[in-house]
Structure 1
Amino acid sequence: MESECIYNLLQLPTNPEPPEGEELAQGEKKKILQPDSRKNPKFEQLQKVLVEWINSTLFREHIVVQNLEEDLFDGLVLHHLLQKLASVTLEVEEIALTANNQKRKLTVVLEALHQCLQLEENPAKWNMERIFNKDLLATLHLLVAMAKHFQPDLSLPENVQVEVLTIESTKNGLKSGKSMEQITDCKMDSNQQSKVDVFDELFKLAPEKVNAVKEAIMKFVNKKMERLGLSVQNIDTQFTDGVFLILLIGQLEGYFLNLKEFFLTPSSPAEMLHNVSLAVDLLKEGDLLDYPVNPEDITSGDTKVILRVLYSLFSKHKMNETPEETKTEAGS
């Protein structure tokens, strides 16, 4: 039975078909928000909360936003928000009428915002071109980051996720992959928060102990993966594409996924994100996470997040090992 499962792992999944009519320059990537996600009540509620927040913040300026896609692309509203929330004055024209002037203004505003946010959010989630092109997903990522920084008590809907289709132009044509993208975090209770703080303190106050934690977790992982003939040598890099994480979860939880559900040899960031998002969903379904996880933090190689995920698996399954298993490991 095991040999049959390993044989199945050699079969590759197929990519979702890219939409017809998409034309991208080689190396260019584009994210398309899927229609069902637009209709998600939590996604709609998030937009409503952000619109109300903007309008209540700027009501003395007589600025009224009705549609986030249509009303924020030229930098005018973002400029006023920055002035109001951060007391920042920028040398830009009040109203930019041409596309070039609007792009120039938006660039200046975003640069100032990035300085204010102090890299609290990954700027790769948005940029000038995406905001200017009325990319709703990028606009929401930016506004959520601003709300978390300037008004952390704002009640945003929790755990808002959307399905996106990422299209990438390569020399061999268009490639695409579907994945789930996290916009807002899950809410943590006090017990979950304390577990997260353990790793925060470890990295902040005892960085010399990080390698020891890595080694302990890596030893546990390799013991569980040896049935597949796999081993982990570098925790920072070997989990970023999601493959090892999916296989590890399967080994620990006692199941194998159909290969049509993930990419065994991901060849693009979209495929990596799809794999990691699937792994995070499996962890949530198995009640294996002690805190919210953003899949993009794993694909970007955030060591702290990767260790937290692996420690969740380690703490559950290490505690559940039989005395025989523990004895065998101690003697190895």
Structure 2
Amino acid sequence: MATSPNTSTLTPKKKDESFLDKLGGTLARKKKSKEVTELQEEGKNAIESPTSPTIPDIGPEGYHLGENEERSMIEPTSREDPKLRELIKTLLDWINDELSAHRIIVKDIEEDLFDGQILQKLIEKLCNIKVDAPEVTQSEIGQKQKLRVILDYINSILNLPPVWNQQKWSVDSIHSKNLVAILHLLVTLARHFRAPIRMPENVSVILLVVQKVDNILQTRRIVEEITTTNDDIGAKFERDAFDTLFDHAPDKLNVVKKTLVTFVNKQLMNINLEVTDLDTQFHDGVYLVLIMGLLENYFVPLHSFYLTPTTTEQKIHNVMFSFELMHDAGLPKNKARLPRPEDVVNMDLKSTLRVLYNVFTKYKDTRSTSTPTM
């Protein structure tokens, strides 16, 4: 079983108020549903809005190159790829979550990361260390000096071959606000530190490469791969029924969701709780923990999990704890794809459905239990 978290971070008043919200009646649920709807709409607008300014199509004539020198830029149409914009937003959210204690808000992945200051704060947070780097300055030389120190430190932590770093990112490419180089760096960091995010798969961009040969500018287009499949933990996954439902049978997917909502509410009604949205109401792990206690007919000690989690770490703890309760209850592991706690916390719907369906399969014939006693 998981060790008990330090509950000193939760104040009784905040816990009571938040839990009363969960226990609220129809009016509270309608209010929460409205807030969820508004939040979803706000998120949709945020994703669909441009994440970074469009680079003007300067064309080959805009480059001043030496003989055999080459440069590249992302084709403007490629920058508007929804998957690329989703990746950028996911990485921005991750950085801002990591740096929230510093009250740092990164809005533009190119304009805010090029001088090394944000990268320094990020790597210090991820490694819990202090990097001895020069103070950021307005001069290009000073900025590059700082950036070189930061990148050298990052490269040593990642322990990647030097040729990788030269191909994927460099001081010059990051400082020149090369989006592809910045994305390669951030994606590698996110995977190395097992960031609690779900990056979109198979993101690529089309690069326009310009090279000067015999005093003539030659151009070619290449496809640059940013992410592949989600192999963050080195696992190779087989497709399962949920992949098929999402891709080919959305009508049947809705039936599955309704079935699972009915199943979990059959249990939660015993403690005056109700789930209306599978997409958003399981990401903090609270309902998962409570449902396991109800199904196994025991009271889960409140000190074992965070009743009102406020941070990503607390939510991950809750989901991991619920997984341990499921394991103790003898639930079989999903052979096709075992969800990560981070995926559930990040509201990856497939992962949430896999977890709930696993519980449903074991307990679908169980009658609604009485409220566990303390």
Q: What TM-score results when the alignment is normalised by the length of structure 2?
A: 0.44
Q: What TM-score results when the alignment is normalised by the length of structure 1?
A: 0.49
